[in-house]
Structure 1
Amino acid sequence: MARTSPGVRLLPNAVTVLALCAGLSAVQFALTGDHGLALGAIMLAAVLDSLDGRIARLLDATSRMGAELDSLSDAISFGVAPALVLYVWLGEASRWGWVAALIFAVCMVLRLARFNTLLDDAEQPPYASEFFVGVPAPAGGLLALLPVTVTLEFGEGWWTAEPAVWLWTVAIAALLISRVPTLSLKKIRAPAKAVAPLLVVIGLAAAVAIQYPLVVLISVLLLYLAHLPYSVHRYHWLARHPEAWDVPPKERRAIRRGRTQRRLGLRKPPLRRVAGVARRAVRRPRVPTGQHVPRVYPPDGVAPTPRAGD
């Protein structure tokens, strides 16, 4: 197999550097008061961050330098930049605000350091590759800027109060370094028959995003937070069912449905056998043709039992 040329190997690192520049530009936009462009710059950094690794794997241009550069870029674009944007956006110098900004930046760096160490951990179970440990860096940076996004779309409210903003920032920082499993989109595979409907949905989503970009961003971030309980449930379900680790998604769903039916007692009964037993239990003896069967009258006040043939 031919070795990848130096120019091709440079491409993923160039994308990472562009993401770094986008993150730093967000701080410059915030200092000039253009918070919409600051938010857009960090969104651009998140898009570029999702592309550099895929480009490196596609071109077989992965390298140790690229991995280290990607972590440094994420630390600045999604740790330092959002913290400074929030601090500048509030417009009032506050010691507690600066403390919250430092906490967020430090937690982002710790989250990335842990991510790098887990890459070399060979003792993880097979299903661990389907999850991130804690909220990933791009999602954490955008979630921290959710108060700015909501303000740009709906105006000022309780979400612009300084205590609320910094409490939100610290809460997102806690999610960054937490052990909460979050789904990794890299492992999601769509079945062949769902490709056409998904393309239609993507087209509609793109049209809505062009018309209402901030509303779509807010909705996506809230849906991401809402998926955390499901992600935790799925992680623990896989931990309890080793037979589902190495099977396709279709078979995994069949295992989950089968266990759910057995737990709830929803297994279908053998209808033919039960029906036959029931028929034999209620079958009446046949009366020979021409033979008269006398009617037995019950006591007064009791309805008579109908005979066969009445």
Structure 2
Amino acid sequence: MCAGLSAVQFALSGNYPAAIAAIAVAAVLDALDGRIARLLDATSKMGAELDSLADAISFGVSPALVLYIWKFDGNRLGWVIALVFAVCAILRLARFNTLLDDTEQPPYAKEFFVGVPAPAGGLLALLPLILTMQVGQDGWWSTTPVVMGWTVAIAALLISRIPTLSVKTVRVPARMVAPLLVLVGLAAAAVITYPMLALACALVVYLAHVPYAVRRNHWLANHPEAWDVPPKERRAIRRAHGSNRRLGLRPPMRKVAGAARRAVSAARRGNGSGDGHRGGTVLLPTDSSRVRRAVLRGRGWRRTGLRRNQSRPGSGEQ
């Protein structure tokens, strides 16, 4: 909460890089406070209420005021836009608190947020200001209409029903720990060397993950068998369901049809008159159950590669 309020003070003094850094620090603290409380066995209902209050100030009120001071100062419409963003951020937090008590959600729902979370939304709203600080001059991204439209769009994402991934449920495999530590070190070096550029890239990557999160949520909703299984088994289920469809393949009926042709040829070469033919239609031998099931499945003689055996005069068949 103190970091979020300090961002407003930095903006009032014209120190916009410090204002952005203060809100980024608030986002980092928001990601750590719950984990630290659980590690220290210091969780409480009061802490949960304070967390929501601090989020409302740091990621709803503070970004709105920073944007107003930077671009909308003296603009009545700009003040309305700032109010819309702050209200949407607070509504998003209120809905998040109500969903915590919803016991009717499917098991996979804990892997997603409903809408963009408040810390990400507060930083995304500042992306035009971050780009301006990185480039060092104003551009089309910092014009008043663009900033207004961008702020309203992020406010809409906050209160939307679009699923986004929750990093709280991510489990890192043991073999990926070392590469992940290397990436964390590179990210830390990038933040120290090019802080604004690194933050802008992270925000763009976060926006790019939204279509993947929507697709993943839709897939899980349609595959209940994957709700309670580890990620490795989920990938196996996804490959089993989607490999043929992605490649445009059909079920392997050609092999069945080839076996059916061989069975029919063997029946025609037989010397019995009633064991292989009946009613002018070639029947399959009793020991070829696989072929018989393919034919009796309702796919038709042509789709299984068979032809009707036309009765020949003098063959003794009626």
- TM-score, structure 2 as length reference: 0.77
| Deviation of 1:270 (Å) | 11
2:128 and 2:73 map into 1 onto residues whose CA distance is 16
Matching residue of 2:146: 164
1:238 and 1:58 map into 2 onto residues whose CA distance is 31
| Deviation of 1:204 (Å) | 1.6
2:90 corresponds to 1:109: yes
The CA deviation string for residues 60-93 of structure 1, in whole angstroms up to 9 with x for no partner, is 2211111110000000000000000000012631
- The one of 113, 117, 120 aligned to 1:139: 120
Asked if 2 retains the 8 angstrom alpha-carbon contact of 1:261 and 1:267, the reply is no
The CA deviation string for residues 127-155 of structure 1, in whole angstroms up to 9 with x for no partner, is 00000000001000000000110000012
1:191 and 1:213 map into 2 onto residues whose CA distance is 29
Amino acid at match of 2:45: R
Matching residue of 2:66: 85
Structure 1 SS opposite 2:138: coil
Asked if 1 retains the 8 angstrom alpha-carbon contact of 2:131 and 2:200, the reply is yes
Matched length? 256
1:53 and 1:130 map into 2 onto residues whose CA distance is 17
Matching residue of 2:230: 248
| Deviation of 1:262 (Å) | 3.5
Amino acid at match of 1:137: A
| Deviation of 1:59 (Å) | 2.1
Amino acid at match of 1:153: Q
| Deviation of 1:58 (Å) | 1.8
1:131 and 1:149 map into 2 onto residues whose CA distance is 27
Asked if 1 retains the 8 angstrom alpha-carbon contact of 2:72 and 2:79, the reply is no
2:253 and 2:117 map into 1 onto residues whose CA distance is 47
1:97 and 1:112 map into 2 onto residues whose CA distance is 23
Asked if 1 retains the 8 angstrom alpha-carbon contact of 2:112 and 2:166, the reply is yes
Gaps in structure 1 of 5+ consecutive residues: 1-19, 279-310
2:178 corresponds to 1:182: no
- Percent identity over the alignment? 68
The CA deviation string for residues 167-195 of structure 1, in whole angstroms up to 9 with x for no partner, is 11111000000000000001111111111
| Deviation of 1:210 (Å) | 1.3
1:69 and 1:266 map into 2 onto residues whose CA distance is 57
Matching residue of 1:11: none
Amino acid at match of 1:265: L
Matching residue of 2:13: 32
Where has structure 1 moved over 4 Å in runs of 4 or more? 266-271
Matching residue of 1:265: 249
Gaps in structure 2 of 5+ consecutive residues: 263-318
Cα pair distance change 1:249/1:92, threshold 3 Å: same
